[in-house]
Amino acid sequence: MAKNLINSVSFTVLLVVLLMASTGILNSEATCPGCTSPVFLDECPSAHGTNNEECCKCCAANYPTACGGVIEGTDKHCHCKKNA
């Protein structure tokens, strides 16, 4: 009985982790290298759909208070970050 319960819990946890990974929930703000406690500043539309490096460049060029940028969400939008 306990073995079935452990197997069920393990399978459920695996499904949740796979769901989170496939929807982008696990994306981390750690890709904002210059931010100590990043909060949302604005979007940088010209970098939507690119990568974190291009996003950081776009944010630095358009927002003087930005400490970095990160591609987030399933729609791959570039979100500029500032320190809180």
Distance of CA 76 to the CA centre of its chain: 9
Domain that holds residue 60: 2-83
- Say what the pTM is: 0.60
pLDDT in tens, 34-73: 788 888 999 999 999 999 889 999 999 999 999 989 898 8
Number of domains in the chain: 1
What's the angle, vertex CA 24, arms to CA 64 and CA 14, rounded to 5? 150
